[in-house]
Amino acid sequence: MKHVHNSGLARDADGTLYDPGVRASMQAFAAGEDTLALETAAAVRSAAQAVDRLRSQGAGGRGLSAGALDVLARLNTASDEGSSIGELARAAGVSSRNVTGLVDTLERDGLAQRVRDERDRRSVRVRITPAGRDWLDSFRRPTQRAMSAVFQGFTEDELARFRDLCLRTVENQHRIEQYLNAPPRDRPAP
């Protein structure tokens, strides 16, 4: 028996949640094939969007985009010499151009600063400023409360398992990307 929630979600006979609209569209798309992986991908996207919306609302209410917040948080844990634009881009999985714009915003707001690289005078590093650390300190408690609310009802074991499953998905995507970016002659036979 299907039970529909106020959120539009329903429960399968085993009690697990699913989205009836997503299921119907995936069944049509898959033309009779199993849709569990497709429904799971849609659920991961929905969950990521929900967390990002919450983070964006919190950071945006304080004048920062979620992307700028991520860069600022990474700078907060960087060494005293800071990070390069390339290092920040690789860590965030975005382009250097994107990070440059985010650093411009952080620098304009006095939260980060560009400094010459001591080892290579041609290079620039980015460091968090004391104002940036203060900004993060003021953002920490509301963020912790919001994430606690989003994951309300999850046990510590469930959260650890969920984190593991998400990161295994990221590992799989990275492996696929490496395979696709390898020259055809270097790819293993199917």
| Alpha helix stretches (DSSP H) within 2-113 | 20-30, 36-60, 66-76, 85-92, 96-108
Residue 128, SS3? strand
CATH: 3.50.50.60, 1.10.10.10, 3.40.640.10, 1.25.40.80. Which one for 61-150? Answer: 1.10.10.10
Decide: 66 and 55 in contact? Cβ < 8 Å: yes
Determine the distance from the C-alpha atom of residue 168 to the mean position of all C-alpha atoms in its chain, rounded to a whole number: 14
Find, among 2, 12, 15, the residue nearest to 35 by Cα: 12
**Whether residue 117 has pLDDT greater than 90:** no
Entry pTM: 0.68
- The whole-number average pLDDT for the span 47-53 is 84
Of 36, 1, 8, 51, nearest to 151 (Cα)? 51
Q: Side by side, which strands form the sheet with 3-4?
A: 3-4, 10-11, 17-18
Give the separation between CA 66 and CA 168, rounded to whole angstroms.
23
- Between 125-139, 149-163, 170-184, the lowest mean confidence (pLDDT) is in 170-184
Q: Is the pLDDT of residue 77 over 60?
A: yes
Residue 52 has pLDDT above 60, yes or no: yes
Q: 22 near 39, Cβ under 8 Å?
A: yes
Angle at 93 between CA 172 and CA 184, to 5 degrees: 55
